[in-house]
């Protein structure tokens, strides 16, 4: 039978039915759907649209459905079009007539938008909790290594000495902004769109503000077409999640570099590394690599929804059913990565000796040599040029800035005195960088303690 023939006599082809159904994935919205429906029944009752007996039956019936889904006694039926239909049909089959009154003054269009908003708000709170834990653990490590000197890099070339604690705190600050972004996104997400109905609002005397209050919403959407049309809140959350993954992937990349034989700055606990099937010496940073790899997947989720929404006419279109799998996938991925990452950071140890040795190579105190010359009266540009010459002299002669004699220094400029050694001492280079946000152990320690207190 042709599909259109089936449609003309009101029978849907089973293939079309299963193609159309979203239960297999939107069953995750059952809690939000039931909560929203209980609140909706309360509002209908308060406004005199349904009577108290019906409201009571609906509330009781929905609570029972919630419990049964949670215990596994009731399994969402994949042959239903979506979770909203499944819950409403189950309710009616359990409580009869009253169940049929629940869908007054609403539509699945505002219902799904509301459910999804509630889901996003819960998820934002969960992800912020995971970020807080990661910040705490990163700050704790930063405090432990507040005075561990390592080479800081630009272009992945040794640049200036920094402390490992300083480097770690940089990530903690990024995660802190991730929380800020999510908190901001939450405000725009936690809005009541229920009552927008199909698209035009309703002729019933509803009380949207009352319903919003029961949903703990931060506001009521002011345009019913907007309420059912947009999924910008999904896109905004996916953007926040993408930024989190971008941060995690950079941290991952550094973990991978730092644990490599060439660097050997960091050791990861065995519990978060894997071995090779043929190379017995291997300890691979798989967790970090997976976090780096999964970043592409979350970006893909963002782009899937952005592209799906592009050019859609207002108001609801079935295309929008496609928002959920991407959203769920991205949120699950971020939660899994944040969880494993916090454990990995907690168990990581730094080889401060190796870091210190690496800091002695690469002339990372050349800036400090130039700054010293500035203090001796040279203009910075001139000092910079002179230092460039000294570094190439060292490279040619297999020397370091520390091993040059004062006589050798004096051949470059008469302003050199033995204060130069104090100026280029790596420890001094780090300890004297007391500018706000700089790498000095005292600044790093202060920042780490601040973060640990805030995110305890």
Smallest distance from ligand ARG to CB 35, Å: 17
Interacting positions 158-197 with ligand ARG (CB under 6 A): none
Which C-beta is closer to ligand ARG: that of 108 or that of 399?
Answer: 108
Residues from 308 through 327 that contact ligand ARG (CB under 6 A): 316, 318, 320-321
For residues 82 and 147, which CB has a smaller minimum distance to ligand ARG in the complex? 82
**Least distance between ligand ARG and beta carbon 11 (Å):** 18
Report the residue number, 26 or 54, with the smaller CB distance to ligand ARG.
26
Find the part of the chain contacting ligand ARG (CB under 6 A) among 47-55, 105-113, 164-172, 366-374.
105-113
Cβ closer to ligand ARG: 222 or 318? 318
Rounded distance between C-alpha atoms, residue 315 and residue 111, angstroms? 14
Return the residue matching tokens 């019933």.
Answer: 204
Examine residue 22 and tell whether it contacts ligand ARG (CB under 6 A). Answer: yes
How far apart are the C-alpha atoms of 221 and 191, rounded to whole Å? 6
Structural tokens at position 228: 């059912």
Residue 109 in the binding site for ligand ARG (CB under 6 A): yes
Q: Least separation, in Å, of the C-beta of 318 and ligand ARG?
A: 6
Please identify which residue in 26, 176, 301, 368 interacts with ligand ARG, judged by CB under 6 A: 26
DSSP 8-state code for residue 153: E
CB of 228 or CB of 358, closer to ligand ARG: 228
Shortest Å, Cβ 354 to ligand ARG:
53
**Using rule CB under 6 A, residue 82 touches ligand ARG:** yes
Q: Which of 24, 63, 276, 442 is catalytic?
A: 276
Cβ distance 88 to 295 under 8 Å? Answer: no
SS3 helix, strand, coil % of the chain, rounded to 5?
65, 5, 30
List the one residue from 108, 126, 250, 399 that touches ligand ARG (CB under 6 A).
108
441-454 and 164-189 helices cross at what angle (nearest 10)?
Answer: 30
**Active-site option among 155, 277, 405, 435:** 155
Interacting positions 353-382 with ligand ARG (CB under 6 A): none
- DSSP alpha helix (H) spans, 310-365: 323-347, 352-359
Q: How far is the CB of 316 from ligand ARG (least distance, A)?
A: 6
Q: How many residues does the chain have?
A: 456
Calpha distance 169→265 (Å, rounded): 17
Q: How many residues touch ligand ARG (CB under 6 A)?
A: 10
CA distances to 97, 219, 307 from 119, in Å: 29, 16, 22
Under rule CB under 6 A, which residues in 227-246 are in contact with ligand ARG? none
Tell me whether residue 276 is one of the annotated catalytic residues: yes
Dmax over CA atoms of the chain, in Å, equals 101
Concerning whether 155 is annotated as a catalytic residue, the answer is: yes
Phi, psi of 106 (to 5 degrees): -155, 175
Q: DSSP assignment, residue 415?
A: T
Token couple for 137 = 């653990």
Round to whole Å and give the CA distance between 17 and 20: 5
Distance in Å, CB of 439 to ligand ARG, minimum: 50
By CB under 6 A, what part of segment 271-300 binds ligand ARG?
none
For the bound state, the minimum distance from the C-beta of residue 193 to ligand ARG, rounded and expressed in Å, comes to 13
CB burial string 360-382: b at 16+ within 10 A, e below:
bebbbbbbbbbbbbeebebeeee
Residue with smaller CB distance to ligand ARG, 86 or 341: 86
Task: Name which of 327 and 429 has its Cβ closer to ligand ARG.
Answer: 327
**Structure tokens, 302:** 């963002």
As a whole number of angstroms, the distance between CA 315 and CA 312 comes to: 8
Shortest Å distance, C-beta 146 to ligand ARG = 50
- Contacts of residue 336, Cβ cutoff 8 Å, sequence gap at least 6: 294
CB burial of 124-163 (b: ≥16 within 10 Å; e: otherwise) equals: beebbebbbbbbbbbbbbbbebbbbbbbbbeeeebbbbbb
Joined together, the tokens standing for residue 313 give 């006419």
The verdict on 432 binding ligand ARG (CB under 6 A) reads no
Question: What DSSP designation does 168 have?
Answer: H
Please identify, among the stretches 49-57, 107-115, 155-163, 202-210, the one whose residues bind ligand ARG according to the rule CB under 6 A: 107-115
Q: Which is nearer to ligand ARG, 82 or 254 (CB)?
A: 82
Interface with ligand ARG in residues 39-58 (CB under 6 A): none
CB of 339 to ligand ARG, least distance (A): 28
CA dist 449 and 445 (Å) reads: 6
Q: What are phi and psi of 185, to 5 degrees?
A: -60, -35
Structure tokens at 306: 């952005």
d(CA 382, CA 367): 13
Given the complex with ligand ARG, which of 112 and 241 has the nearer CB atom?
A: 112
Q: Give the footprint of ligand ARG on this chain (CB under 6 A).
A: 22, 26, 82, 108-109, 112, 316, 318, 320-321
Q: Which residues are catalytic?
A: 155, 276
């Amino acid at each position: 039978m042709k599909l259109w023939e089936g449609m003309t006599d009101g029978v849907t082809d089973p293939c079309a039915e299963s193609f159309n159904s979203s239960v297999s994935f939107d069953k995750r919205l059952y809690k939000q759907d039931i909560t929203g429906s209980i609140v909706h029944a309360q509002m209908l009752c308060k406004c005199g649209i349904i009577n108290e007996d019906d409201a009571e039956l609906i509330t009781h019936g929905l609570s029972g459905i919630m419990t049964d889904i949670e215990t596994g006694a009731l399994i969402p039926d994949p042959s239903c079009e979506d979770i909203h239909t499944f819950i409403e049909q189950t309710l009616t089959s359990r409580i009869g007539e009253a169940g049929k009154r629940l869908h007054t003054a609403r539509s699945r269009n505002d219902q799904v938008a509301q459910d999804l908003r509630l889901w996003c708000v819960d998820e934002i709170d969960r992800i912020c909790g995971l970020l807080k834990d990661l910040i705490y653990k990163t700050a704790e490590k930063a405090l432990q290594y507040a005075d561990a000197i390592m080479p800081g890099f630009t272009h992945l070339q040794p640049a200036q000495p920094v402390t490992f604690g300083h480097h770690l705190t940089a990530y903690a600050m990024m995660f802190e902004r991730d929380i800020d972004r999510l908190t901001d996104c939450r405000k725009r997400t936690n809005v009541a769109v229920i009552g927008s109905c199909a698209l035009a609002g309703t002729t019933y005397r509803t009380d949207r503000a009352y319903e919003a209050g029961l949903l703990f919403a931060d506001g009521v959407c002011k345009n019913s077409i907007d309420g059912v049309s947009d999924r910008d809140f999904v896109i905004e959350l996916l953007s926040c999640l993408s930024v989190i993954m971008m941060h995690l992937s950079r941290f991952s990349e550094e973990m991978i570099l730092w644990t490599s034989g060439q660097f050997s700055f960091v050791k990861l606990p065995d519990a978060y590394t894997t071995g090779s099937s043929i190379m017995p010496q291997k300890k691979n940073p798989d967790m970090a690599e997976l976090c780096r790899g999964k970043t592409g997947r979350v970006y893909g989720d963002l782009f899937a929804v952005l592209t799906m929404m592009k050019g859609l006419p207002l108001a609801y279109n079935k295309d929008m059913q496609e928002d959920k799998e991407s959203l769920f996938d991205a949120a699950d991925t971020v939660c899994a990565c944040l969880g494993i990452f916090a454990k990995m950071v907690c168990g990581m140890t730094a080889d401060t000796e190796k870091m210190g040795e690496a800091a002695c190579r690469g002339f990372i105190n050349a800036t400090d040599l130039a700054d010293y010359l500035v203090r001796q009266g040279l203009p910075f540009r001139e000092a910079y040029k002179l230092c460039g010459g000294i570094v190439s002299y060292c490279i040619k002669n297999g020397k370091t800035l520390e091993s040059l004699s004062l006589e050798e220094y004096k051949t470059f400029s008469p302003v050199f005195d033995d204060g130069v050694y104090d100026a280029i001492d790596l420890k001094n280079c780090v300890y004297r960088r007391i500018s706000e946000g700089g790498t000095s152990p005292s600044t790093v320690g202060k920042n780490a303690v601040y973060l640990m207190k805030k995110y305890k």
